[in-house]
């Protein structure tokens, strides 16, 4: 890319090195936010002195690079660039392929790992900067003066839908600063990698191992692992694995058999998710946003959605119409990997391997 060095130097100088530019094998740039590993005790209430799983790849603690912007797609490759209409109407496998199609010497590209999304969400809450965003037809539902630039046609009611990447104010970034990750609240739902709900059972590609391009996330992949009540990864279907059920009108974390028949999507405020009687929720479940680290606390009104039958892959953050329910703790686990809609996009991540 012509003038790449100038672009990289400018981005790094303007952000004190917190943002950088990474080229792929097509000499196309992506603007990325440098993410340093966090320990659980720094971002999780009652957390221990261990590194959050979102910054661990194949057993090695990593500095991660997160797309500053929702992805666009050019020549079947994902790019993080400002003031673009974010790619939407894309299913999980195609979003993953658009990231993994990119090649950069010394590292690998992937969809943002779900574990890394969780790490960023917890950091934002701990630091009092849970991002606002386009969650009410082009503006923030609570701060209507905060608006983004429309990037697609208005809907049938003449309302704004998607907004251009990074076109909102700094409060739409994860740290409320210009060097932050943009649009994690609203705009479009974001596919995340390395996690799924399978007939109500939580399954993971452990930690952020999904960054490894050799690891398959196909429906029948043997890399999927369940999580037990001790916070250990075990084979799916093992006794005592963590699952969601819908009990007393709430999503409830259990280790027994799922009783809900999965015929309907279920929704519960994240702060109100329950735990089965006698279950001591492991730290790993709280680190991965299966259960709140402060039950009843303020998580911005964000919700979890789940369908408890079949394979369901996570979408995070919400869309332009979710109002109060949108935000970094908003996780949808009700859609199949094949679903593609105009409200569904993604974001890339990179790490050195």
127 phi, psi to nearest 5 deg: -95, 5
Q: What is the pLDDT of residue 6?
A: 86
Q: Smallest Cα–Cα separation from 174: which of 209, 242, 223, 123?
A: 123
Angle at 149 between CA 329 and CA 87, to 5 degrees: 60
Query: Which parts of the chain register pLDDT below 50?
Result: none
What are the E-state strand segments in 75-192?
77-80, 107-111, 189-191
Q: What is the pLDDT of residue 2?
A: 64
User: Model confidence over 93-144: pLDDT tens digits?
Assistant: 999 999 999 999 999 999 999 999 999 999 999 999 999 999 999 999 999 9
Q: What is the pLDDT of residue 3?
A: 75
Q: What is the pLDDT of residue 4?
A: 74
Q: Look at the chain and count its residues.
A: 353
Q: What is the pLDDT of residue 14?
A: 94
**42/95 Cα distance (integer angstroms):** 32
Q: What is the pLDDT of residue 1?
A: 63
**47/122 Cα distance (integer angstroms):** 11
Q: Which residue has the tokens 């994240």?
A: 270
Q: What is the pLDDT of residue 5?
A: 81
Q: Are 345 and 190 in contact (CB under 8 A)?
A: yes
- Domain positions in the chain are 191-338
């Amino acid at each position: 890319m012509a003038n790449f060095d100038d672009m990289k130097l400018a981005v790094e100088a303007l952000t004190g090195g917190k943002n950088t530019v990474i080229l792929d094998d097509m000499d196309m740039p992506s603007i990325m936010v440098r993410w340093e590993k966090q320990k659980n005790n720094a971002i999780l209430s009652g957390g221990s002195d261990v590194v959050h799983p979102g910054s661990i790849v194949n057993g090695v603690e990593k500095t991660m690079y997160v797309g500053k912007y929702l992805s666009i797609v050019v020549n079947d490759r994902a790019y993080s660039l400002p003031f673009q209409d974010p790619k939407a109407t894309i299913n999980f496998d195609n979003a993953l392929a658009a990231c993994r199609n990119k090649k950069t010497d010394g590292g690998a590209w992937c969809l943002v790992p779900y574990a890394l999304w969780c790490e960023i969400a917890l950091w934002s809450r701990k630091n009092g900067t849970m991002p606002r965003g386009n969650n009410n037809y082009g503006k923030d539902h609570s701060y209507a003066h905060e608006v983004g630039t429309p990037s697609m046609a208005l809907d049938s009611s003449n309302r704004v839908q998607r907004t251009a990447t990074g076109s909102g104010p700094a409060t739409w970034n994860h740290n409320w600063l210009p060097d932050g990750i943009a649009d994690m609240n609203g705009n479009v739902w974001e596919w995340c990698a390395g996690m799924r709900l399978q007939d109500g059972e939580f399954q993971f590609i452990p930690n952020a191992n999904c960054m490894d391009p050799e690891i398959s996330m196909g429906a029948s992949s043997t890399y999927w692992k369940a999580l037990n009540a001790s916070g250990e990864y075990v084979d799916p279907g093992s006794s005592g694995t963590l699952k969601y059920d819908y009990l007393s009108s709430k999503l409830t974390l259990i280790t027994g058999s799922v009783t809900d028949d999965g015929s309907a999507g279920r929704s519960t405020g994240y702060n109100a998710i329950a735990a089965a009687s006698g279950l001591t929720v492991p730290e790993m479940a709280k680190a991965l946003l299966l259960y709140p680290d402060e039950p009843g606390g303020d998580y911005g009104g964000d919700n979890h959605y789940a369908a408890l039958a079949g394979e369901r892959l996570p979408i995070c953050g919400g869309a332009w119409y979710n109002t109060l329910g949108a935000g970094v703790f908003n996780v949808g686990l009700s859609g199949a990997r094949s679903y593609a809609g105009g409200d569904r996009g993604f974001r890339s991540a990179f790490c050195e391997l």
